[in-house]
Amino acid sequence: MSKPLIIDAHLDLSMNALEWNRDLRWSVDEINESEAGMTDKPDRGNATTTLPELRKGNIGLVVATQIGRVVRDNKGLPGAGWHSPEQAWAQTQGQLAWYREMERLGEMVMIKNRAELDTHLALWANGEPNDKKPVGYILSLEGADSIVTLDHVEIAYNYGLRAIGPAHYGPGRYANGTDSSGRLNDMGVALLKEMDRLGMILDATHLNDDAFWHALEIYKGSIWASHNNCRKFVNHNRQFSDEMIKALIERDAVIGIALDAWMMVPNWVRGVSNAKDMNCNLEIMVNNIDNICQIAGNTDHAAIGSDLDGAFGTEQCPYDLKTIADLQKVPSLLKNRGYSDEDIEKIANGNWIRFMRKAL
């Protein structure tokens, strides 16, 4: 089959631009050369994702995040944390300003509704070179800590936010996430009700098991999991059990498979393990995709949410991926497993498109 359009449902682009100080208009090589000798972050010099690489990989539409956690003690937790929701909100507004600048330059375009989605998809299907095409993005918030008050949800919706994952790592203001326990608190319940009222997408990623089941019980609107793998392969609460996957399928959700190596192979040790030694390759992404398809009995619910450069790079991702453009290797791997061209198209883009057309 020809190189399909790929939709990637989780990229922390603005975080990379502002907190890693990466100009995402540069090539991956230019970014990595600029970071030679830097040690302030574990993935320095190992970037995979830039706007030119997205175009090279025919990745024309992404779900791009804002993120700003609120924590008192950030020890042992990945990512930055702020001491107040007001600080975290200000961080997300800076991230929004970066997206707006990319739009002004024609590098990106925000997708807020079905009409804009269809217009953008038509542009990327017109047969012309991708070099000058803007990368489309749907704006999502990873972790709701930065939502200062419920009034801020509508403010965010009005500037284009369409999806919220209530939790990230550890305890949160609205919900508890990875490596924690407990159902949604009263603020979390109110948050979901407000999201329901506005017709937003609930991202089930990072919800701990208690909060996951609570959220599915009370949320009436559209639910996806932007970047989440299968507990069958890595037995950790960050992944979904088969029972959780079945529940999401019943809600017509789509699950994006991520490429963070510790979520792909058991016993990965950050900063120590090596992808080749651990046999971490793109076949494992296909294993996760296939598991979801086998549970569903169809190919309607598995997709890609790579999380590439989400505070990790080539030091902690499959060894056969050097840049995000290598996601184009996945269709061939699926073909080798007996997946039809139609099914591969669904996994590459069709499932997300179907979901987005309904949710937006």
Per-residue pLDDT tens over the stretch 174-228: 999 999 999 999 999 999 999 999 999 999 999 999 999 999 999 999 999 999 9
State how far the Cα of 80 lies from the Cα of 66, in Å rounded to an integer: 12
For residues 23-33, average pLDDT: 98
The band of 56, judged by pLDDT with boundaries at 50, 70 and 90, is: very high
Question: Is 311:231 a contact under the CB 8 Å cutoff?
Answer: no
End-to-end Cα, the chain, rounded Å? 29
Please tell me which residue, 78 or 32, carries the higher pLDDT value.
32
Residue 79 has pLDDT above 60, yes or no: no
* Domain spans in the chain, listed from the N-terminal domain onward: 7-359
Question: Is 170:177 a contact under the CB 8 Å cutoff?
Answer: yes
Superfamily in which the 7-359 domain is placed by CATH: Metal-dependent hydrolases (3.20.20.140)
Beta pairing, strands 108-110 & 81-82: unpaired
Q: What are the structure tokens assigned to 134, written together?
A: 């803007």
pLDDT value of position 2:
80
State how far the Cα of 173 lies from the Cα of 78, in Å rounded to an integer: 17
Q: Using only the alpha carbons of the chain, give its radius of gyration.
A: 19
Handedness of CA 197, 140, 221, 263 (dihedral sign): negative
Question: Is 299:343 a contact under the CB 8 Å cutoff?
Answer: yes
Residue 73 has pLDDT above 80, yes or no: no
State how far the Cα of 227 lies from the Cα of 254, in Å rounded to an integer: 10
The band of 71, judged by pLDDT with boundaries at 50, 70 and 90, is: confident
Q: What are the structure tokens assigned to 246, written together?
A: 């079945």
Chain position carrying tokens 């039809």: 340
Per-residue pLDDT tens over the stretch 131-182: 999 999 999 999 999 999 999 999 999 999 999 999 999 999 999 999 999 9
State how far the Cα of 224 lies from the Cα of 255, in Å rounded to an integer: 6
pLDDT value of position 66:
98
State how far the Cα of 276 lies from the Cα of 280, in Å rounded to an integer: 6
Chain-centre distance for alpha carbon 281? 19
Q: Which of 3-17, 64-78, 256-270 has the lowest mean pLDDT?
A: 64-78
Q: Crossing angle, helix 242-250 and helix 282-296, to 10 degrees? A: 60
Question: Is 50:76 a contact under the CB 8 Å cutoff?
Answer: no
What is the chain's mean pLDDT, rounded? 96
Q: What are the structure tokens assigned to 131, written together?
A: 């070099």
Q: What are the structure tokens assigned to 73, written together?
A: 């003690």
